[in-house]
Structure 1
């Protein structure tokens, strides 16, 4: 058996093409402003971390691809908590910015959670503000966490059913594991799964993963999911990666492709979906700011 590919890049490209149409509609005079303006994404990056800088640059390129505006605030190492929170307050007040992110991780000495509390929940592009996570717990409408939402969209696109199936999430982090467990368990289309969350501190991970219809590996532990831990024919999503020099290393060992029915690639799987959902959240924030619900119509 050779696993079929959960192609995140192809789906992300289609989402971006659909968003470009919606962005053009929102940019018309009299929609977001009297003169007209496109939806805008803001980014705040502290320090000189190379992977973070490249990731932020990619987000601005994504904006350009769909006709969105983007605003970036780069801050040096040595930035204080007060200085960081002041910039976040400026983003809250900037009419060009419909939603924005504080790139994680922040340098040692800065409190990411405290900075997030300064952000307006309505401008939360990542869907990770405590208010929005609380709404997710309650099943209320709010910006959804980008990677978990992207993973569910990727599975749905390829016909991988979650309703009533067993989803095992390996990893309990704030950006993927915990919010994915909440989102996937909701009684809604593309979800309604029976969810188990485990982590690398659990003895005999395979005793859990071998019972799964779908595995999401999000531990940031290279090769933690091996072929003997996967039930033949199940779907495996490689959401966790680490860097070994300049090489991207997946949480899922290469030989899993010979056992799984579906597998997301190390590059071109979850990553493009995360970035696409960031654009979706920003465009939806722009629409909500002027009382437009759902996709913008041509009328």
Structure 2
């Protein structure tokens, strides 16, 4: 039998620790995102009433990639639900780089649009970096422009990349203590690994932690992951982190979304980069897949769009 740790039964837990396995706290991205979206909707409504300001977002999709179509549809649906003006530009895969750059330039000049998002990946004949760098940094709500990346590195106010921003919110709103913690990030992508490592270092961002980054050339990765008070896994490999690779009581943030099959009805079966079943009884807290980091990414995009509109209008 397992008891809660309170004054009455605390000594029993201390005397029989091996017989008391408490499941990890589930850090729900779905619930956290819902709470943040309610805050955003309230602020959008206030801006409309007090200032006649409607935040505007455009999503630009090139080609017919099913996953990209699904992501863009979800972003537009969320924007409309929050009262944000949303436009979608859908272009054929054969669209030239020059044409796409022209569309971006038009939206850079459009005062009704405060956020521009070009859905990645782009067709191979288009230089992704050239397109992303063409977006006005003040409308770069994805946080990918070098100006915003540089400001983030320096700890200045900027648009934070949406997934790392969402991870920060999950940690803070779940009451996870990050200051002084040992944080290990598995993955070094420009979208998640590098920025979240930087943010977890910073005092201003709310991290203030000691950070280690692991990647495909890391020797003895388990040595590092077992030291982590907070383990953030964004490697894109299904169930790569097992229960014997984590520290007892660690907080696990699983960024991975991997399709590992489908049900008889054709619904996708998803798994994270963490082997949830072997970790949940050992971790102190963990994000699920789905329903963990995923819902936070679109929510942070909406928060950045709101921030962009307020900055454009000079409203704090």
Answer whether TM exceeds 0.5 for this pair. Answer: yes
The answer to whether the aligner puts 1:64 opposite 2:84 as a matched pair is no
Cα deviation, residue 249, structure 1 = 2.4
Is residue 163–residue 192 contact of structure 1 (8 Å, CA) maintained in 2? yes
The separation in 1 between residues aligned to 2:134 and 2:221, in whole angstroms, is 38
The residue aligned with 1:252 is: 274
TM-score, normalization: structure 1? 0.93
The separation in 2 between residues aligned to 1:50 and 1:2, in whole angstroms, is 36
- Does 1 or 2 have the higher relative contact order (CA < 8 Å, sep 6+)? 1
The separation in 2 between residues aligned to 1:262 and 1:106, in whole angstroms, is 36
The residue aligned with 1:116 is: 132
Query: Which of 17, 22, 33 is the matching residue for 1:12?
Result: 33
Which stretches in structure 1 are left out of the alignment for 5+ residues?
Answer: 294-299
The residue aligned with 1:222 is: 238
Is residue 153–residue 190 contact of structure 1 (8 Å, CA) maintained in 2? no
Cα deviation, residue 37, structure 1 = 4.6
The answer to whether the aligner puts 1:21 opposite 2:42 as a matched pair is yes
1:243 partner SS: strand
Query: Which of 274, 280, 289 is the matching residue for 2:303?
Result: 280
The residue aligned with 1:144 is: 160
Can you list the C-alpha shifts for 1:220-254, whole angstroms capped at 9, x where unaligned? 11111111111110000011222345332211112
Alignment of 1:1-299 (within 5 A): 1-28=22-49, 31=51, 36-188=52-204, 190-244=206-260, 246-254=268-276, 255-293=278-316
Can you list the C-alpha shifts for 1:116-149, whole angstroms capped at 9, x where unaligned? 1110000011111111000011111111111111
Cα deviation, residue 96, structure 1 = 2.1
Is residue 161–residue 190 contact of structure 1 (8 Å, CA) maintained in 2? no
Aligned residue pairs: how many? 288
Can you list the C-alpha shifts for 1:148-186, whole angstroms capped at 9, x where unaligned? 111011011111111010110000011110111111111
RMSD across aligned positions (CA) = 1.3
TM-score, normalization: structure 2? 0.88
Query: Where has structure 1 moved over 2 Å in runs of 4 or more?
Result: 242-249
The residue aligned with 2:8 is: none
Distance 1:247 1:108, change over 3 A: farther
The separation in 2 between residues aligned to 1:72 and 1:94, in whole angstroms, is 14
Q: Which has the larger radius of gyration?
A: 2
Can you list the C-alpha shifts for 1:76-107, whole angstroms capped at 9, x where unaligned? 11122111111111221222211121111112
